Amino acid sequence: MRQLRYKNNLTQEELARVIGLKPTAISNYESERNEPSLEKLIALSKFFDVSCDYLLGVSDIQKPADAEIFDKDTLEFIKLYKQLTPSVSEIKSYMQYLIYKEKTSNNPDT
């Protein structure tokens, strides 16, 4: 939360005012002495435009891909792709080949 606050050039007092808390509450959250209630966690998530998981330190991804943007197959492909980091260039080459093959089979002039 501290990094997000710094990134947005906010003091603890300013953030506390926006969320409806006392500045000591923000200080306690940042030093991990206390955790925000579910209501305040959601308010912070919306204010910073990040996921609750990111604020809680459960995920390094600030805002996960929206299911409305990606269908199930695309999300599955992304998850599999991330597991094959050493083979990325090989995967890219194969994908380019598949695109080329699809284009040429659909266009007899090529």
For the stretch 51-98, pLDDT in tens is 888 888 888 888 766 545 667 787 788 777 777 766 777 888 888 999
User: Taking the model in full, what pTM does it have?
Assistant: 0.57
For the stretch 10-25, pLDDT in tens is 999 999 998 999 999 9
For the stretch 24-37, pLDDT in tens is 999 999 998 998 99
Return the pLDDT at 94.
87
Please give the Cα distance from 75 to 8 (Å, whole number).
Answer: 30
